[in-house]
Structure 1
């Protein structure tokens, strides 16, 4: 891993214990399968997380299917856990495991990780934005006229826009170069947007037009700018919930 990629990874690294426990419990509640890589990546175990004890600082997970692999795992001092719920890469590293029991069955246990990394996969993840944090997106038509829409969800692959009515033509397959999204503290994001679908929706007593859009060839700098914005919104929302 290069120095720059390590810096990028740090942007999405969680160190607050309560927040780490929150995401571990999500994996437990969803029964998400988790891969454990150890022995310098030459061995793997497929498992599910079973329990997390925040007070004791212990994570419990299922016993492996191969006793030979289990024995090697019990001697491993560095273990990388990777899960991908909803296309979001969750990753953390632990020290040496030990054998325990969970509901009268054999299981592994490790100390809780000090760091927890969450990386979004561009193909699937979309963050639904709260009403108070929906940035404006400005599209410019071929005749130079501009239309401001509200961003209702966003991910590294695209976004959804809403407006009471269209003031410039928008059709499926149409590309809007030089679109601008105001990400507040993270600056103005300039990019090309491709319309994937157009739909009229009823929200309460109001009619709105929703545009489903994809981004066209984001640069690494644009990726990073957008990822930082998404991460900040998520952290602010978790803080409101006391997480």
Structure 2
């Protein structure tokens, strides 16, 4: 049994990663065949788990890249343990694959997948993708939250009282930043804030854990000083990563449309 198969059998795999729309992310697309082969090989060497989504439809399964073909014209994926899913995968219009490597999101599509035998086991074989999305988390997802958006986070109090609401000023796939009055709540570098309630427009509120990574003092318009507190997400519930990314991409598209006079 391969390492990815052991991970799935032991139930240690991460939540399946949902695909993202690629509009506006052209600069993160790899098109060169050599780059694509190298990235696929890196995913194979790392035994990275891959969420495979059958399109059209909502069916998905966890897999891993086994290897590249000897002539490097195709890639082999672990087949699903369910034969029906494998059959539908070969009939799908395409397979949308999403994974991570060193905390970098990677997404690509495979077409014309077919069942094959590799080293005595069943695999899915498909031609190399024409392009791959390689998305650096911080540089692609930082967003200055518009004042018109009700993007807030409610922080837990040490005494167990009602959470303290703060306005989010900056959000990314890896964390958030917010303003905090110096005497409102004690925070320090490295502190973990568990049980924070994150609320974004058109997104169901979610409970997250934050780790304080930086604190700076900034003057406010009233003349008093505020703290700018930057935090990373120490823990997210299932599906939160995708929901946050979709909010950011949707907001970026809205802001770009306004700049072009489209809204």
| TM-score of the two chains, using structure 2 as the length reference | 0.50
Aligned to 1:112: none
2:157 is equivalent to residue 147 of structure 1? no
Matches within 5 A, 1:10-159: 11-14=20-23, 36-37=32-33, 41=37, 120-124=135-139, 125-133=141-149, 135-145=151-161, 146-159=163-176
**Post-superposition offset of 1:172:** 1.3
- RMSD across aligned C-alpha pairs, in angstroms? 4.0
Distance 1:200 1:39 in 2: 43
Residues 1:36 and 1:166: Cα distance change in structure 2 (over 3 Å): farther
Deviation >4 Å, runs of 4+: 32-35, 87-93, 116-120
* Aligned length, in residue pairs: 163
1:180–1:208: structure 2 CA closer, same or farther, 3 Å change rule? same
Q: 1:122 to 1:221 in 2, by over 3 A?
A: same
Distance in 1 of aligned mates of 2:209 and 2:258? 33
The 3 A distance-change label for structure 1 pair 140 and 154 is same
Q: Does 1:8 align with 2:4?
A: no
- 1:120–1:156 contact (8 Å) kept in structure 2: no
Query: What residue in structure 1 maps to residue 236 of structure 2?
Result: 218
Q: Which residue matches 1:71?
A: none
Closer/same/farther in 2, CA of residues 239 and 139 from structure 1, 3 Å limit: same
TM-score by length of 1: 0.53
Q: Secondary structure at the match of 2:231?
A: strand
Aligned partners of 1:160 and 1:210 also within 8 Å: yes
Counterpart position of 2:49: none
Map of 1:109 onto structure 2 = none
Q: Return 5+ residue gaps in structure 1 as ranges.
A: 15-19, 43-86, 94-115
Q: CA deviation at 1:89?
A: 7.4
